[in-house]
Structures are given as C-alpha cells and as structure tokens.
Amino acid sequence: MDQVSEAKTLTETILYNVILFSKAQVSAFIGGLLDILIMIICVEVFSLNLVLAITLGGIFGAVVNFLINKYWTFKNESPINWTQSIKFVSMVIGSIILKSIGTLLLTDLLLLDYKLSRLITDAFVCLGFNFLLQKFWIFNK
C-alpha cells in the first residue's frame, strides 16, 4: 500500500471513529437525560433513597441508550440475543455501582448538591466505562 492510500485509510478510520463516538454521546445524552430526570423525580417527588433513585433512573436510561446505540450508533441489526443482553446488563450494573459511589462520595465528601455530583460522575462513567464496553465488547462486529 502506498503512502497516499495509507493516509486516506487512516483519515477514514479517524473520521469513522469520531462520528461513532459523537453518535454514542448523543445516545448517552438522551439516555442520561431520562436517567437523571427519573432520579430527580424519585428523590424530589417520591422521597426515595438516592441510591434507589439512581438505580431506577439507570435502568430506564439504560434501556433507551441500548436501543439507540444498537440500531443507530453501532448499526447492529442482528436480533437482540442473550449474550448481548447479559453483556449489556453487566455493563449497566457496573455503571450504576460507579454512579452511586461517585455521586455519594462527591455529595458527602465535597458537600456538592446531589444533582451536580451526579452530572460530574456521569461524565466520567459514560466516557471512560460505558462507551468503551459498548464499542469493544457489546456491539462489536
């Protein structure tokens, strides 16, 4: 392969990954927005425990995120199967645990409002955990 072809291939690969990452972030934003809204409603309206509220929001947000990522972001047209479902549920459980710990630590130790703590924690969990697992483990081809 000559240098021009290699450069074109590298450029196409970078562009593909930037678009893929951007689509995953749109999906994460939509799922995350639903997740956080449910958490706030559970805490503010129903006076639920913060960890339970994070868990409920996480479940609903995760289902939305899964469907958007499967069919739009990663264009994985295969039927939903047990292996993919188990992998995704494992990721969601890990994500909920990380979000709960991070939110509680920032809220209790730094005395931040739980909503701000959650947004900060979500940024790290979504980028450093969820996206990588979805790309390389759950929806890989």
Q: Burial of 54 by CB count in 10 Å (0-12 exposed, 13-18 middle, 19+ buried)?
A: buried
Q: How confident is the model at residue 7 (pLDDT cuts 50, 70, 90)?
A: low
Given a cut of 80, whether residue 2 has pLDDT beyond it is no
Question: What pLDDT does 110 receive?
Answer: 95
pTM over 0.75: no
User: Could you report the per-residue pLDDT of 29-72, keeping only the tens digit for each?
Assistant: 899 899 989 999 999 999 999 989 988 998 999 899 989 988 99
Domain boundaries, the chain: 3-138
User: Could you report the per-residue pLDDT of 9-41, keeping only the tens digit for each?
Assistant: 888 889 998 998 899 889 988 998 999 899 999
User: Could you report the per-residue pLDDT of 85-140, keeping only the tens digit for each?
Assistant: 899 999 989 998 999 999 999 999 999 999 999 999 988 998 889 889 988 998 87
**CB hemisphere CA count around 1 (13 angstroms):** 8
DSSP class per residue in 107-129:
HHHS---HHHHHHHHHHHHIIII
